[in-house]
Structure 1
Amino acid sequence: MDAALLSAFAAGLALGLSLILAIGAQNAFVLRQGLRGDHVLAVVLTCALSDTVLITAGVSGFAALAEVAPWIAPLLRWGGAAFLLVYGAKAALAAWRGGAALRAAEEGTAGLRRAVLTCLALTWLNPHVYLDTLVLLGSIASRFGGRVWAFGSGAVTASFLFFFALGYGARLLRPVFAKPTAWRLLDAGIALVMWSIAAGLVLGG
């Protein structure tokens, strides 16, 4: 892989991880399943493959749409920058306030079908996932030209890495992320990454 492709892949990987790391219902569900060892493979594959479909649609669909309507790219570039600034501000505020935590423990075990359906609902019924994958990732991917699929591959890799690490590493992570300080540091890091990407969109033209 040459330097340009590697750079695009790394950008997709970094942005994908930044978007997916935010504390939310889907991540809490994956963590809970991982802590209990309950249908972990099915759950993490459902999340990662869903992201793959959405990211592919965003990368390919937006690129084709941008050729027909070139004014969409700058519009979404500025919209994406605004979204990232707000997203980063929310993460910074969470880091400042502290107290964030994932409630992962629930008694009992769910069947495979129920676990997968719950995972699908948490993924596909979340309106933010479409903004993140179809709009934000799609608009940023268009800036990479012929390297757009390297960028998309980076974002997909981020999804697989995160969900498998969260699902199977949950038991190892539990004592760490039981501490509010760990979440404050995580939120602060997310805020910095979001703001740096927003600055790149604004200054990069």
Structure 2
Amino acid sequence: MLTSYLTGLLVCGGIIIAIGAQNAYILGQAIRREHHWKCAGICMSADILLFTAGMFGVNAALMALPEALEILRWLGVVFLGWLAVLAFSRVARGRDALDANTKAVSSARAVILTTLAVTLLNPQVYLDTLLLIPAIGAQQSSALGFVAGASSASVIWFGLLAFSGAALSPWLAKPSAWRVIDGTIGGMMAAIAIHLASNGL
């Protein structure tokens, strides 16, 4: 069970930290200290629910149709490869830093609705939680341990975003910092894609 837990923690952690609309929004709220813990809690809860539903649903499907495993494997390779390409393209062109000096204060209702939108209206969330992560988890000895690891990765990551956003604001004021972040993300996604292509799920 410990191996499954650690696999879920590391694999899901590598995917979750890919800076996208959801993470960038939460980080911006944390930097401005506007309901950032509410944002983090929503994202944690959504991930845990989707991990659980996807994990046990895909497990049952793979037991009934084992040949689907190869399809899931190569879909995962393509998807992770695409994430790596996007990250490296952001490194090449750069992107704006978050504005830590914004003074406007958003209402809790507006922040919650926006967090739900960037979480549930993003197709990448469903590809991650209902396809890629459960496909890897289906090969683990303990499905429950893998889900616990995946859920822990979500709690740790979003908790860190909410807690450290304000402290990191001077660093994130530099666009060059985003190049380092995106480069790291691209490298991680490419490494996981190569591993899946070479060794399977």
| Structure 1 match to 2:122 | 126
Q: 1:17 to 1:83 in 2, by over 3 A?
A: same
Q: 1:102 to 1:136 in 2, by over 3 A?
A: farther
| Structure 1 match to 2:75 | 79
The answer to whether structure 1 residue 193 and structure 2 residue 188 are counterparts is yes
Matches within 5 A, 1:8-47: 8-47=4-43
The answer to whether structure 1 residue 52 and structure 2 residue 45 are counterparts is no
Match of 2:104 among 108, 114, 127: 108
Q: Contact (CA 8 Å) 1:6, 1:150: kept in 2 or not? A: yes
Q: Contact (CA 8 Å) 2:99, 2:173: kept in 1 or not? A: no
- Which deviates more from structure 2 when the two are superposed, residues 164-173 or residues 177-186? 177-186
| Structure 1 match to 2:151 | 156
Q: Secondary structure at the match of 1:143?
A: coil
Aligned-residue RMSD, C-alpha: 1.9
Matches within 5 A, 1:166-177: 166-177=161-172
Q: Contact (CA 8 Å) 1:58, 1:135: kept in 2 or not? A: yes
Q: Secondary structure at the match of 1:38?
A: coil
1:46 positional shift: 0.7
User: Structure 2: 5+ residue runs without aligned partners?
Assistant: none
- Percent identity between matched residues is 38
Q: Contact (CA 8 Å) 1:28, 1:104: kept in 2 or not? A: no
Q: Contact (CA 8 Å) 2:100, 2:169: kept in 1 or not? A: no
Q: TM-score, normalised by structure 2?
A: 0.89
Distance 1:192 1:34 in 2: 26
| Structure 2 match to 1:67 | 63
1:53 positional shift: 0.7
- Which deviates more from structure 2 when the two are superposed, residues 37-46 or residues 10-19? 10-19
Alignment: residue pair count: 200
Distance 2:181 2:145 in 1: 26
Distance 1:104 1:61 in 2: 41
Amino acid across the alignment from 1:199: I
Q: Contact (CA 8 Å) 1:99, 1:180: kept in 2 or not? A: yes
Q: 1:89 to 1:29 in 2, by over 3 A?
A: closer
Amino acid across the alignment from 1:135: L
1:30 positional shift: 1.2
User: Structure 1: 5+ residue runs without aligned partners?
Assistant: none
Q: TM-score, normalised by structure 1?
A: 0.88
